[in-house]
Structure 1
Amino acid sequence: MTTRLHLLSLVAGAFIAATTHLAFAAGSAFDLSPDQKDRVRAEKNEKAIEAVSKSFKFVSDGKLTIGLHPSNPPLSTYASDATTVVGFDVDLAQLVADSLGRELVLVPVAWADWPLGLESGKFDAVISNVTVTEQRKEKFDFSTYRKDELGYYVKADSAIKAIKEPKDIAGLKVITDAGTNQEKILLAWDKENVAKGLKPIEVQYYDDDAVSTLAIQSGRADAVFSVNATQAYKAAVSGKTKLVGTVSGGWPITAEVAVTTRKGSGAADGVTAALNAVIADGKYKKVLDRWNLGSEAIDKATTNPPGLPKS
């Protein structure tokens, strides 16, 4: 049974929002300062530079211009100065820029606007949690760098130890995001369970993250099924939730996130070479671990792998 719950408790929402903000600000595990003293850097990589086609025209001489959408930590967000963009995507962009011997330039962009910005030459590449799909491959090239993972998170002291397959969610109250891959997967799992005679789940939707947090902490919901990266960050900062299972964002197909460049521009092979070099020397893992994303590591970067099929 699916129910749509919109709990509009302003007092509870304001309280949880305030405490969440303080927790994020105080979380010593993550550096949200603008100077980023602990950022991992890479050496200039001549092989990666040579792999970039001579016909590729960078936006600016000596620079690598990256478009990204500052949205939620740990992927990308604004630092404590409310101006500088920091996060995993920024650190990865820095490794690629260093490898190509170029100065990194970041251009914040709305999510809906990155395709046009990239096609029009506003950026050299986009690093903003873009999943490889067959439809996107018609216009763009891809260099993979991270698994596209969704995560099941529960209250830190929950009796739920693991959610690995459909039967593990039978009878649970699960929060997810409307109109997303995670909702599609959750409903597919529930349909499979019901067909086997297992208890249906109760799906809950919230417009306010603070109210969603309150639902988990109060026991009104059993689990949250959402983007693993953002949930992992919240768990590390607050200590109030824990990961009990991950699912590919393209379930049952494996999905990966990639650096996105213009189709046929000649940049992708150089970016892929740069990524594989930092994977091999351990700098890639250091960046993942810095933002609590170790579970999303890939073993090898690939240019234009099979993507999620067209719907």
Structure 2
Amino acid sequence: MSVFGSSKLLLAGVIAAAAIGLGPALGQEKYDLSPDTSNRVRAERNEAAIKAIAPDFKFVTPGKFTVAISPWDPPIGTYATDSKTVVGADPDLSSLLADSLGLELELVPIAWADWPLGVSSGKYDAVISNVTVTEERKEKFDFSTYRKDVLAFTVKADSPITSIKEPKDVAGLRVITGAGTNQEKIILEWDRENVAAGLKPIEVQYYDDRAAADLALQAGRAEAEFNPNSTRAYAASIKKDTKVVGIVSGGWPLTAEIAVTTRKGAGLADAITIAINDLIKNGKYGEVLKRWSISDEAVEASQTNPPGLPKSGS
């Protein structure tokens, strides 16, 4: 979902949400991002989740659930039209979890790269900002999964292309992606597989901003785009000039998941996992994903510290 901060992160398949190459301009488009959060989906107290909080766990501010979030792009998290209220799928989930834990939500906008130190030092109770589970991160943090890490292929709404599921489906196509991203890593690997199989090579295209990428696709200078499902599906639902024709795990060929991230051993992860599973069961979770057009990323159940993407060289 973003440019990796280092080659190590790239190999681990981790998508940083601070800057996604093509993504930031998306938030500048004319979406309905009202600062009025009164219509957020709300939840009841979950006594089982509350009881699962470790007795010695202390919230940053008593009575509040302090969540770090990076407002990078809709629909995951962005600033509303007032340029200060944070809205999106992750803020809505944060609100549901605060309700479930019987707490008031305190959202703290941060630069994405700042969350590890903030969580490990106890500055925030959790970060809910599109963090992928990796084995390396599990050494320092606990995870409660809540969304699949998904990338999408999009094409023009009137394109004859109806499905892209595997490398051969993009052989010979001109494909837009973000430089230095996990999706670039995947599409280049698909290209290598195609060429080795005697198929036509993929022409990978890069653009510095969203408007240029959109123009290239609409003008026919590219046949497809391969970037984060969340932003591409949301744009397709709003603008109606593109369509999603395929989704791929952000950890391809492995499955990757996004998770609420808390300090290792703090005693909060199991409570959050219980809360998420109840929200899945009662439909509140699904309402949030549907509202932000990312139902394709739904998980069937939340897990505490599941297997993550392997360390580099593993």
User: Scaled by the length of structure 2, what TM-score is found?
Assistant: 0.90
Partner residue in 1 for 2:114? 113
- Seq. identity, %: 65
Native 8 Å contact 2:144 2:303 kept in 1: yes
Task: Kindly state the Cα deviation for residue 156 of structure 1 after the two structures are TM-superposed.
Answer: 0.6
Shift of 1:57: 1.3
In 1, are the aligned partners of 2:57 and 2:268 still within 8 Å (CA)? yes
Separation (CA, whole Å) in 2 of partners of 1:80 and 1:58: 30
Distance 2:309 2:179 in 1: 20
Alignment deviations for residues 178-197 of structure 1 (CA, whole Å, 9 cap, x no partner): 11110111011111111110
Q: Which amino acid aligns with 2:244?
A: L
Shift of 1:209: 1.3
CA distance in 2, matches of 1:254, 1:63: 33
Residues in 1 aligned to 2:243 and 2:77: alpha-carbon distance in whole angstroms:
22
Cross-structure match for 2:19: none
Q: What displacement does 1:54 show?
A: 0.9
Q: Which amino acid aligns with 2:33?
A: L
2:265 aligns with 264
In structure 1, the residue matched to 2:22 is none
Amino acid at match of 2:263: R
1:63, 1:43 → 2: CA distance? 15
The residue aligned with 2:226 is 225
TM-score when normalising by structure 1: 0.91
Mapped to 2, the partners of 1:154 and 1:35 lie a distance apart of: 33
- Higher CA-based Rg: 1
Cα deviation for residue 79 of structure 1 reads 0.7
Of residues 142-151 and 114-123 in structure 1, the stretch that sits farther from structure 2 once superposed is: 114-123
Q: Matches of 2:158 and 2:143 in 1, distance apart?
A: 40
User: What is the CA deviation profile of residues 55-95 of structure 1, one whole-angstrom value per residue up to 9, with x for unaligned ones?
Assistant: 11100111000000000000011111111000000000001
Partner of 2:157: 156
Which residue pairs with 1:79 in the alignment?
A: 80
Aligned residue for 1:129, secondary structure, equals strand
Q: CA RMSD in A?
A: 1.3
Structure 1: distance between partners of 2:293 and 2:286: 10
Superposed, 1:1-311 pairs within 5 Å as 24-25=29-30, 27=31, 31-311=32-312
In 1, the alpha carbon distance for the partners of 2:291 and 2:210 equals: 24
Q: Figure out how many residues of one structure are paired with residues of the other and give that number.
A: 288
1:235 Cα deviation after fit: 0.9
Cα distance in 2, alignment partners of residues 306 and 178 from structure 1: 28
Q: Which amino acid aligns with 1:33?
A: S
Cα deviation, 1:261-289, whole Å, max 9, x if unaligned, reads 00011110000000000000000000000
How far, CA to CA, are the matches of 2:148 and 2:209 in structure 1? Answer: 27
3-state secondary structure, aligned to 2:45: coil
Does the 8 A contact of 2:71 with 2:86 survive in 1? yes
Deviations 1:116-162 (A, max 9, x none): 11111111000000000011111100000000000000011111110
1:116–1:247 Cα change, 3 Å: same
Say if 1:20 and 1:278 are closer, same or farther in 2 by CA, change over 3 A.
closer
- Output the CA distance in 1 between the equivalents of 2:93 and 2:283: 13
Q: State the secondary structure of the residue aligned to 1:257.
A: strand
Q: CA deviation at 1:38?
A: 2.1
**Which residue of structure 2 aligns with residue 10 of structure 1?**
none
Separation in structure 1 between the aligned mates of residue 140 and residue 304 of structure 2, nearest angstrom: 14
**Which amino acid letter does the alignment assign opposite residue 183 of structure 1?**
E
Matched residues in 1 for 2:70 and 2:246: separation?
A: 27
Separation of aligned partners in 1, 2:123 and 2:224: 41
C-alpha distance in structure 1 between counterparts of 2:27 and 2:132, whole Å: 29
| Distance across 1 between alignment mates of 2:202 and 2:179 | 15
CA–CA distance in 2 between the matches of 1:21 and 1:93?
20
Deviation at 1:113, TM superposition (A): 0.6
Structure 2: which amino acid aligns with 1:101?
Answer: G
For the 8 Å contact 2:177–2:206, the answer to whether it is kept is yes
Contact 2:43 2:284 in 1 (8 A): yes
Structure 1 runs not aligned, ≥5 long: 1-18
In the TM superposition, residue 21 of structure 1 has moved relative to its aligned partner by: 7.5
The Cα offsets for residues 215-258 of structure 1, whole Å up to 9 and x where unpaired, read as 00100011110011011111111111100000000001000000
